């Protein structure tokens, strides 16, 4: 994964990712995308039906996300320390339960290890997954970024790519989408900005020759 030519190279802020190790080399803090982990937990619930930890952890994480969203909606700047502590203590309890259940039901690991791997990620990177509780400016998922990238990904899947060997079409598409995203809340200025980019990027049109009527 190369990010040398992206804004991430010089980014100074919290990076929200799905655990790809490359991203840990950038930014000043990190938040794990809980949407991914919620899916893994649901898979564990459906496959390891005699274990209880995954359902409890999924319920806790969904409650934590809801608590943070409600605080932001109500204009709060931070969650109370006792609320954070209650969530983190319950988190630790469920991890302890998971470890005990996997010891008792070790046979699961012979045919399904995704549930145990999920538990290990949540256990070893607790602060990575609960960072959003300590900073309400940080969302708990990277769903917003993924939704922006999804149209381009679907275009590549359906059409097989962009028909431009130079790469200019891809760059132009990315630049345009970035403008649309960054100016989404600026009203009419969005269109003026886009027009200015088109004027800068598109070559000046030569005046066409006057039509000559035949005798």
> Is residue 3 left, alpha or beta, with left meaning phi > 0 and alpha meaning psi from -120 to 50?
alpha
Round to whole Å and give the CA distance between 31 and 136: 12
For the ranges 64-68, 112-116, 183-187, the maximum mean pLDDT occurs at: 64-68
Q: Which of 25-29, 34-38, 107-111, 158-162 has the lowest mean pLDDT?
A: 158-162
Q: What is the mean predicted confidence (pLDDT) over 192-208?
A: 60
Is the pTM for the entire model greater than 0.85?
no
Cβ pair 71, 152 in contact under 8 A: no
Convert the pLDDT of each residue in 56-95 to its tens digit.
999 999 999 999 999 999 999 999 999 999 999 999 999 9
66 vs 179, higher pLDDT: 66
Cβ pair 140, 65 in contact under 8 A: yes
Round to whole Å and give the CA distance between 53 and 58: 9
Predicted confidence at residue 210, as pLDDT, reads 46
Predicted confidence at residue 11, as pLDDT, reads 76
Helix (H, G, I), strand (E, B) or coil at 49: coil
Q: Which of 39-48, 61-70, 192-201 has the lowest mean pLDDT?
A: 192-201
| Paired strand residues for 16 | 31
Match 């030519």 to its residue by tokens: 5
The dihedral through the CA atoms of 47, 35, 26, 28 has a sign that is: negative
Round to whole Å and give the CA distance between 139 and 118: 21
- The beta strands (E) that lie in the chain are given as 14-17, 29-32
- The beta strands (E) that lie in 9-125 are given as 14-17, 29-32
| Paired strand residues for 32 | 17
| Paired strand residues for 29 | 14
Closest CA to 17 of 119, 129, 136, 95: 129
The dihedral through the CA atoms of 99, 101, 106, 107 has a sign that is: negative
Q: Is 67 exposed, middle or buried (0-12, 13-18, 19+ CB in 10 A)?
A: middle
- The beta strands (E) that lie in 8-80 are given as 14-17, 29-32
Cβ pair 132, 140 in contact under 8 A: yes
């Amino acid at each position: 994964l190369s990010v040398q030519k992206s804004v991430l190279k010089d980014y100074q802020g919290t990076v929200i990712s799905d655990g790809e190790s490359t991203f840990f080399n950038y930014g000043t803090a990190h938040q794990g995308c809980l949407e991914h982990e919620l899916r893994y937990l649901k898979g564990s619930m459906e496959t390891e039906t005699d274990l209880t930890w995954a359902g409890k952890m999924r319920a806790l994480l969904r409650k934590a996300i809801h608590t943070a969203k409600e605080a932001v909606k109500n204009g709060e700047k931070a969650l109370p320390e006792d609320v954070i502590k209650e969530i983190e203590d319950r988190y630790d309890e469920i991890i302890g339960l998971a470890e005990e259940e996997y010891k008792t039901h070790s046979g699961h690991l012979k045919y399904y290890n995704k549930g145990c791997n999920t538990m290990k990620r949540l256990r070893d990177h607790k602060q990575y997954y609960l960072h959003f509780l300590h900073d309400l400016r940080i969302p708990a998922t990277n769903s917003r970024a993924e939704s922006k990238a999804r149209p381009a990904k679907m275009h590549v899947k359906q059409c097989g790519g962009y028909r431009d060997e130079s790469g200019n079409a891809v760059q132009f598409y990315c630049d345009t989408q970035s403008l649309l995203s960054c100016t989404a809340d600026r009203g009419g200025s969005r269109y003026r900005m886009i027009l200015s980019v088109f004027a800068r990027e598109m070559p000046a049109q030569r005046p066409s020759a006057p039509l000559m009527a035949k005798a």
